[in-house]
């Protein structure tokens, strides 16, 4: 345990220009086991945060354990896409198109709204072709396809499937609360894609990830669903994020891990071999700091073999280049930040 005051997050990530620290990021984190015991923590780890997309693998549980996935023939690739903040590359769009078509649906059924593909070359190709981004390109469209599949299975209306009082969201929320070890979740806010995002603490989120990665203490159906999701992600790390993205790179280099990013500087991970989960939040929400902090934590926990560390060096300590391409700085974990 750190000696930092509970609410003041330690400085976890430094941004250097030349030899001087230009900016820095405070990071709270929790490492917990499947019983919800906090093993390591720092900062405001008991304060509720919005986990955002970091809970997508947990949100996908209802799709599997309800039987909806089996009934509608959801493949491992599609299940990975349901857990994804994908980059809107051709592979993501192709998988999604097939899935929706099998349900007799298209992009008009998706309530997530449109944004340009996160994968810059794909976004540029779209523009050059004179096309407009659609809800298919939204990084959350796979999660929404999963929710539509569940709505079909429940014989619930498709319209409004993203609203908090819809049977789909109620079932997703119940599963999420159980995984986080809670009787119920506090009132949600609205996520960037329109579905509810429920506040929970980093300690609770870490416990939920521990259970997802090592579900042996859970009921038969839940355990099978966790294992199916873990297998799907492991088989398709490229569908969970995309080319050049941290989640894909980390799960490719260290396939025994589940890692999932969320907006506003959130990261969650499961370390199945150790039976632990971790969750972190960058205080200021900076996306550039979250993977640097995650890799520092994973390394400190012994979860990154040497080959993985080498493969991930550019994500662990990204170089900053100016517009002429010269290296002018770097982002790196603060020394002595972690007290594991």
Q: Shortest gap between Cβ of 43 and a copy of itself (angstroms)? A: 12
Q: Shortest gap between Cβ of 299 and a copy of itself (angstroms)? A: 23
Q: Shortest gap between Cβ of 50 and a copy of itself (angstroms)? A: 5
d(Cα 122, Cα 7) in Å, to the nearest integer? 41
How far is residue 154 CA from its own chain's centroid? Answer: 26
- DSSP at 4: S
Q: Under the rule (CB under 8 A), what is the footprint of a copy of itself? A: 8, 15, 17-20, 22-26, 48-50, 111-115, 124, 127-128, 130, 138, 187-194, 197, 199, 264-265, 282-286, 289, 322-326, 328-329
Q: Shortest gap between Cβ of 188 and a copy of itself (angstroms)? A: 8
**Nearer CB in complex with a copy of itself: 180/251:** 180
Assigned token pair, 176: 């999420």
Q: What is the 3-state secondary structure (H, E, C) of 147-207?
A: HHHHHHHCCCCCCCCCCCCCHHHHHHHHHHHHHCCCCCCCCCEECCCCCEECCEEHHHHHH
Q: Shortest gap between Cβ of 289 and a copy of itself (angstroms)? A: 8
**Nearer CB in complex with a copy of itself: 69/135:** 135
**Nearer CB in complex with a copy of itself: 60/110:** 110
**Nearer CB in complex with a copy of itself: 4/226:** 4
**Nearer CB in complex with a copy of itself: 113/181:** 113
d(Cα 134, Cα 108) in Å, to the nearest integer? 9
d(Cα 71, Cα 304) in Å, to the nearest integer? 37
**Nearer CB in complex with a copy of itself: 11/224:** 11
Instruction: Count CA atoms within 13 Å of residue 166 on its CB side.
Output: 21
Q: Shortest gap between Cβ of 33 and a copy of itself (angstroms)? A: 27
State residue 24 phi and psi, 5-degree precision: -150, 160
- DSSP-H helix ranges across 217-333: 220-235, 237-240, 246-253, 290-300, 306-311, 313-316
Residues in Cβ contact with 38 at an 8 Å cutoff, skipping those fewer than 6 apart: 30, 31, 32, 45, 203, 206
**Nearer CB in complex with a copy of itself: 66/141:** 141
Assigned token pair, 123: 């976004």
229, 74 in Cβ contact below 8 A? Answer: no
Q: Shortest gap between Cβ of 303 and a copy of itself (angstroms)? A: 26
């Amino acid at each position: 345990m750190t000696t930092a005051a509970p609410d003041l997050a330690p400085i976890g990530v430094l941004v250097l220009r030349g030899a001087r620290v230009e900016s820095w990021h405070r990071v709270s984190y929790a490492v917990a086991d499947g019983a919800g015991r906090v093993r390591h923590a720092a900062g405001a780890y008991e304060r509720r945060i919005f986990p955002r997309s970091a809970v997508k693998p947990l949100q996908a549980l209802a799709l599997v354990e309800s039987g909806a996935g089996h009934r509608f023939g959801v493949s491992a690739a599609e299940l990975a896409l349901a857990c994804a903040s994908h980059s809107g590359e051709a592979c993501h769009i192709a998988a999604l198109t097939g899935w929706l078509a099998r349900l007799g649906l298209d992009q008009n059924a998706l309530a997530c709204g449109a944004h340009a593909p996160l994968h810059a070359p794909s976004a540029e190709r779209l523009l050059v072709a004179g096309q407009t981004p659609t809800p298919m390109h939204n990084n959350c469209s796979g999660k929404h396809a999963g929710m539509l599949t569940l709505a079909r299975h429940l014989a619930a209306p498709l319209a409004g499937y993203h609203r908090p009082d819809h049977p789909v969201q109620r079932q997703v929320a119940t599963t999420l609360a159980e995984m986080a070890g809670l009787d119920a979740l506090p009132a949600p806010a609205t996520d960037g894609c329109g579905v509810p995002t429920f506040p929970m603490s980093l300690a609770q989120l870490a416990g939920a990830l521990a259970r997802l990665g090592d579900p042996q203490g859970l009921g038969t159906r839940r355990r099978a669903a966790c294992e199916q999701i873990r297998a799907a992600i492991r088989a398709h790390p490229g569908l969970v994020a995309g080319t050049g993205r941290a989640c894909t790179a980390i799960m490719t280099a260290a396939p025994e891990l589940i890692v999932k990013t969320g907006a506003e500087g959130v990261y969650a991970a499961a370390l199945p071999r150790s039976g632990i989960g971790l969750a972190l939040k960058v205080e200021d929400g900076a996306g550039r700091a979250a993977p640097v902090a995650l890799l520092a934590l994973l390394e400190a926990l012994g979860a990154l073999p040497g080959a993985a560390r080498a493969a991930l060096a550019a994500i662990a300590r990204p170089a900053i280049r100016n517009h002429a391409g010269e290296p002018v700085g770097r982002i790196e974990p603060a020394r002595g930040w972690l007290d594991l």
